[in-house]
C-alpha cells in the first residue's frame, strides 16, 4: 500500500501553489523522465547536469502525466496559456527530496538498511536484498545502481509502506550529497563497504572520500550501528565522524585478511573454490556458491548487518545457500566458447581494478588473464597518472594481454605497461570497436580468463555485445 498524496497535501510539503489542479487530486506515482511517464504520474521538472525537465513538460503531459512540479518563472507563457495542471515551487529538485523524506517518515513497519562505499555497494545491496527476500519477500531495494541525488528519492517513492525491509544504496560524487541523502533515508543501520579512489575529480583524494562517505551517519539516530570492514582505509577519519554523530562503529573481517584493526565480528574461511566456499561465522557454517573474494567480503558484511538486526544465524545460513550471484555487469562470470568472460563493465576506479585483479589471480592462479579495458572516469587532473600506474601494475600482475579501448585516457594503460618493459605485442590500444574485437580474437586462447572492465562512460558492455553479434554465443 502506498500513501496517496493530494495536491493540497503536496503543496503543504513543498510550500508550493497549485494551478488548474483539484486540491483533492491524488498521486501515488512520481517521475522525472518524460519518456517513461505512466498515466496518472506526477512529473518533477528536475534540473540535471546536462538537461532541464522544464523543456519536456509537453511530452510529459502527452504521455499521461496528471500534474507537473515546476519552478516558478521557468515555464514559457504559451505553455502556461494552455492552463496545464501545475504545482509551482521554488526548487523542483528540493521538492523531490522533501517528498521522499515525508514518505520515509511514514514507513514505520520495517527496517531501513543504508549501504555506501567506493566499491562493492551495489553488490552488497543486491546480496542484502536477496537474503532479505528469502525470509521476507516483501522487501524493497534500490534498482540497479539508482543511488544518486535523484535515484535515492525515487527509490523511496517506489516502495510501499508494508515492506519488512528497505535496502537503500547511496552514492555520491560531490561533498555533502551523502549527508543530504542520509537525512532523507534515515537508515536504522548502515554499512560502508570500503574507501577507495573514486570520484576524485570532486572529492580530491581518498581522505575526501572518507569524509564524504561518513555522511552516512548524518541521518542515523544516535546510538545506531554502522559497519565497516576491518581493512578500511582512513578508519580514523570515519571513526571521528561516527563519534561526532554518536554512531556505534563496528567492524567485520575474515581471519585471513590483512586488517588494520581487530574485527568485532570475524569469520574463518574453511574451504574455497571458484564455484563454492565454506566459512564459519559465529559458530555457524555458511556455504556460498561463489569463490570470488570480493563478493565473499561483501557477503560477510551483509550477514553481520542482518545478524545485528536480530536475524538468526541458522536462517542466514539457509538464505546464503539459496542466494543468486548473477549480477549483470558486476563480476558476472560467463563461459563463452572456450574461455571465461568476467563481465565487470558497470564501473571502474583504481581501487576496484586492483581488487578485481588480485581476486582473479587468487581464483584462477594457473590460467592466462586477458584484460579488455576502458577508461576510468572522474579522477581529476591525476587521471593520466592513475591509468599509467594501473598499466604498470597489470604488467607486474602477469597479465597476458592488455587491450585498451577508447579515444581518451585509456591509452595511458598501454604506456604504463610498456614502461615496465612489457612486450609490444602484449598491449594494444584502439578507439575502434571492430578493431578491438578482431585483435581480441587474435590473442584469446582456450581456458583464458577475460576481464572486461571500465567506467560507466566507457560503455565496455559494447565489447561483450560485439562478441555475441560476431557469432560468439554464451554457453551458460
Q: Are residues 125 and 271 in the same domain?
A: yes
Inside any domain, residue 23: yes
Query: Which pLDDT belongs to residue 198?
Result: 56
Query: Which pLDDT belongs to residue 329?
Result: 61
Q: Are residues 116 and 264 in the same domain?
A: yes
User: Angle at the Cα of 376 (from 374 to 377), degrees rounded to 5?
Assistant: 125
Distance in angstroms (rounded) separating the CA atoms of residues 449 and 371: 9
Inside any domain, residue 326: no
Query: Which pLDDT belongs to residue 470?
Result: 65
Residue 321's Cβ-side half-sphere holds a number of Cα atoms within 13 Å equal to 9
How many residues appear in the chain? Answer: 476
Question: Using only C-alpha atoms, what is the Rg of the chain?
Answer: 24
CATH classification at residue 53: 3.40.1390.10
Q: Are residues 55 and 200 in the same domain?
A: no
What kind and span of H or E run contains 439? helix 433-443
Query: Which pLDDT belongs to residue 475?
Result: 38
Looking at 298, 321, 344, which one is the last position of a domain?
321
Checking if the pLDDT of 326 tops 80, the result is no
Query: Which pLDDT belongs to residue 474?
Result: 41
Inside any domain, residue 406: yes
Query: Which pLDDT belongs to residue 213?
Result: 93
Hunting for cell 545485528 — which residue is that? 308
Q: Are residues 91 and 113 in the same domain?
A: no
pLDDT by residue (tens digit) across 114-127?
Answer: 999 988 888 899 99
Q: Are residues 76 and 225 in the same domain?
A: no
Checking if the pLDDT of 49 tops 80, the result is no
Measure Cα distances from 283 to 236, 265, 280, 286, 317 in Å: 30, 11, 6, 10, 11
Averaged pLDDT, 298-317: 97
| Three cell numbers written together for 176 | 555533502
Inside any domain, residue 73: yes
DSSP 375: P
Of the chain, the percentage scoring pLDDT greater than 90 comes to: 64
Averaged pLDDT, 124-146: 92
Q: Are residues 112 and 82 in the same domain?
A: no
| Three cell numbers written together for 32 | 522525472
Checking if the pLDDT of 324 tops 90, the result is no
pTM of the predicted structure, to 2 decimals: 0.84
pLDDT by residue (tens digit) across 398-445?
Answer: 789 999 999 889 999 999 998 876 556 788 999 999 899 999 999 999
Q: Are residues 338 and 286 in the same domain?
A: no
Checking if the pLDDT of 373 tops 60, the result is yes
Domain of 15 in residue numbering reads as 5-98
Q: Are residues 215 and 279 in the same domain?
A: yes
| Three cell numbers written together for 248 | 556505534
Structural domain tally of the chain?
Answer: 3
Q: Are residues 71 and 120 in the same domain?
A: no
Inside any domain, residue 397: yes
Query: Which pLDDT belongs to residue 196?
Result: 76
CATH classification at residue 197: 3.40.1190.10
Q: Are residues 231 and 371 in the same domain?
A: no
pLDDT-derived band of residue 476, with 50, 70 and 90 as boundaries?
very low
Query: Which has the minimum average pLDDT: 129-138, 238-247, 344-353?
Result: 344-353
Inside any domain, residue 327: no
Averaged pLDDT, 152-178: 93
For the chain, the average pLDDT equals: 90
Looking at 263, 288, 321, which one is the last position of a domain?
321
Looking at 321, 344, 367, which one is the last position of a domain?
321
More confident residue, 265 or 376: 265
Hunting for cell 560467463 — which residue is that? 334
Averaged pLDDT, 5-31: 94
Amino acid at each position: 500500500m502506498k500513501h496517496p498524496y493530494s495536491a493540497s497535501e503536496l503543496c503543504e510539503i513543498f510550500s508550493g501553489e497549485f494551478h488548474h489542479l483539484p486540491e483533492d487530486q491524488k498521486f501515488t506515482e512520481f517521475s522525472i523522465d518524460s519518456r517513461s511517464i505512466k498515466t496518472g504520474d506526477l512529473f518533477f521538472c528536475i534540473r540535471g547536469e546536462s538537461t532541464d525537465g522544464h523543456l519536456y513538460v509537453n511530452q510529459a503531459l502527452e504521455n499521461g502525466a496528471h500534474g507537473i512540479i515546476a519552478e516558478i518563472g521557468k515555464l514559457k507563457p504559451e505553455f502556461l496559456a494552455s492552463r496545464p495542471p501545475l504545482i509551482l515551487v521554488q526548487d523542483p529538485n528540493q521538492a523531490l527530496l522533501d517528498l521522499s523524506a515525508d514518505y520515509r517518515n511514514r514507513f514505520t513497519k520495517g527496517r531501513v538498511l543504508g549501504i555506501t562505499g567506493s566499491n562493492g555497494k551495489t553488490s552488497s545491496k543486491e546480496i542484502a536484498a536477496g537474503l532479505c527476500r528469502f525470509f521476507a519477500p516483501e522487501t524493497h531495494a534500490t534498482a540497479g545502481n539508482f543511488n544518486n541525488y535523484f535515484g535515492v528519492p525515487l527509490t523511496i517513492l517506489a516502495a510501499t509502506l508494508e515492506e519488512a525491509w528497505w535496502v537503500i544504496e547511496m552514492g555520491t560524487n560531490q561533498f555533502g550529497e551523502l549527508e543530504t541523502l542520509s537525512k532523507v533515508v534515515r537508515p536504522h543501520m548502515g554499512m560502508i563497504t570500503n574507501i577507495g579512489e573514486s570520484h576524485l575529480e570532486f572529492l580530491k583524494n581518498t581522505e575526501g572520500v572518507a569524509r564524504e562517505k561518513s555522511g552516512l551517519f548524518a541521518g542515523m539516530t544516535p546510538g545506531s550501528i554502522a559497519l565497516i570492514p576491518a581493512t578500511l582505509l582512513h578508519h580514523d577519519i570515519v571513526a571521528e565522524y561516527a563519534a561526532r554523530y554518536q554512531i556505534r562503529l563496528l567492524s567485520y573481517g575474515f581471519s585471513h585478511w590483512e586488517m588494520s584493526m581487530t574485527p568485532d565480528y570475524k569469520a574463518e574461511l574453511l574451504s574455497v573454490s571458484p564455484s563454492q566456499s565454506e566459512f564459519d561465522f559465529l559458530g555457524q557454517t555458511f556455504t556460498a556458491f561463489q569463490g570470488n573474494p570480493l563478493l565473499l567480503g561483501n557477503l560477510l558484511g551483509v550477514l553481520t548487518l542482518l545478524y545485528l538486526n536480530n536475524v538468526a544465524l541458522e536462517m542466514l545460513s539457509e538464505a546464503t545457500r539459496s542466494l543468486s550471484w548473477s549480477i549483470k555487469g558486476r563480476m558476472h562470470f560467463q563461459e563463452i566458447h572456450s574461455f571465461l568472460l568476467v563481465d565487470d563493465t558497470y564501473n571502474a576506479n583504481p581501487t576496484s581494478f586492483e581488487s578485481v585483479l588480485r581476486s582473479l589471480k587468487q581464483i584462477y592462479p594457473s590460467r592466462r588473464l586477458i584484460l579488455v579495458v576502458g577508461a576510468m572516469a572522474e579522477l581529476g587532473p591525476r587521471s593520466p597518472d592513475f591509468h599509467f600506474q594501473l598499466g604498470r601494475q597489470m604488467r607486474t600482475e602477469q597479465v597476458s594481454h592488455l587491450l585498451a579501448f577508447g579515444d581518451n585516457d585509456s591509452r595511458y594503460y598501454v604506456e604504463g605497461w610498456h614502461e615496465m618493459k612489457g612486450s609490444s605485442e602484449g598491449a594494444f590500444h584502439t578507439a575502434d570497436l571492430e578493431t578491438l574485437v578482431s585483435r581480441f580474437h587474435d590473442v584469446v586462447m582456450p581456458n583464458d580468463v577475460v576481464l572486461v572492465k571500465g567506467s560507466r562512460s566507457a560503455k565496455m558492455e559494447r565489447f561483450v555485445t560485439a562478441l555475441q553479434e560476431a557469432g560468439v554465443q554464451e554457453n551458460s
